[in-house]
Amino acid sequence: MKTLINDSIGDLEAALKNNSDLQEKFKTNPIEAIKNVEIRNPKDTDYWIYRIIVLMLGLAVIGIIAGLILIAYWNDGSSKDNQLVTIFATISSGAIGALAGLLSPTPRK
């Protein structure tokens, strides 16, 4: 049976203090005992993290596109507006790249 710990050494220490069977396994063969310890990553179990990040990046992209449309509509040809368009386009392309990285599936080994 695998022992579940969170992603920290403190959790491993607490699991060792509370589980006498795990203590004995570590005394006899620490390599095999550590293979039976499964590390839980909060990102694997808490899907709201990804939902919030995707929502915020999506809203940022939509807001920037709306801002670019408004700037293009009210543009009088000044260089200040052209710099804003460049800055907004750079930020939105970064946000789109982050969304693509988050939404693409991770390769399985």
Structural contact between residues 49 and 42, judged by C-beta atoms closer than 8 angstroms: yes
C-alpha–C-alpha distance, residues 29 and 35, integer Å: 10
Phi first, then psi: give them for residue 76, nearest 5 degrees. -110, 10
Q: What is the pLDDT of residue 45?
A: 66
User: Which residues lie below 8 Å from residue 50, measured CB to CB, with a gap of 6+?
Assistant: 43, 102
User: pLDDT tens digits for the chain (109 residues)?
Assistant: 566 666 667 777 777 788 788 788 878 887 887 777 776 666 666 678 778 888 888 898 899 888 888 877 877 666 566 777 788 888 888 888 888 887 777 777 6
Residue 36 DSSP code? T
- The model carries a pTM of 0.52
**What pLDDT, on the 0 to 100 scale, is given for residue 80?**
66
> How far is residue 3 from each of residues 6, 17, 18, 25, 45, measured CA to CA in Å?
10, 13, 11, 12, 16
The Cα 64–Cα 89 span in angstroms is 8
